[in-house]
């Protein structure tokens, strides 16, 4: 059966992005794939905690990983990242349109007013 994607929730994505440790892990992954230990190295917490953060990131769809031997290698997946970006962008654009309409309305209602 074809895997048809149901619209993935933005909840776990924004939730995952809300943590500074997880964001720094994502930033690290922009340099290239990394193991759990490598992701843990700069962080002031145990390896177990980092493993749990990775689970959160994977559940959100932000990170993929595969284990080869005893090393789990993580990579970024930008799919849901793009969806989150689009949600924010849509919202921002909608606000700006609303403000434009307000501006037009004010200009038409109260024309040629000197400040």
CA atoms of 75 and 30, how far apart (whole Å)? 8
**Using the rule CB under 8 A, is 100 a contact of its own copies?**
no
- Select from 45, 55, 94, 104 the one that contacts its own copies (CB under 8 A): 94
CB closer to DNA out of 20 and 111? 20
CA atoms within 13 A on the CB side of 100: 6
Smallest separation (angstroms) from its own copies to the CB of 114? 26
Q: How far is the CB of 109 from DNA (least distance, A)?
A: 22
Question: How many whole angstroms separate alpha carbon 94 and alpha carbon 55?
Answer: 34
| Residue list 27-56, contact with its own copies (CB under 8 A) | 27, 29-32
């Amino acid at each position: 059966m074809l895997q048809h994607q149901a619209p993935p929730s933005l909840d776990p994505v924004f939730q995952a992005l809300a943590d500074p440790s997880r964001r720094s892990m994502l930033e690290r992954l922009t340099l290239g794939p990394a193991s759990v230990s490598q992701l843990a190295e700069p962080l002031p917490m145990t390896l177990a905690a980092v493993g749990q953060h990775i689970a959160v990131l994977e559940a959100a769809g932000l990170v993929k990983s595969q284990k080869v031997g005893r090393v789990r290698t993580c990579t970024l997946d930008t799919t849901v990242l793009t969806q989150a970006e689009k949600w924010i962008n849509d919202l921002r654009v909608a606000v700006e349109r609303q403000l434009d309409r307000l501006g037009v309305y004010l200009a038409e209602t109260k024309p040629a007013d000197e400040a």
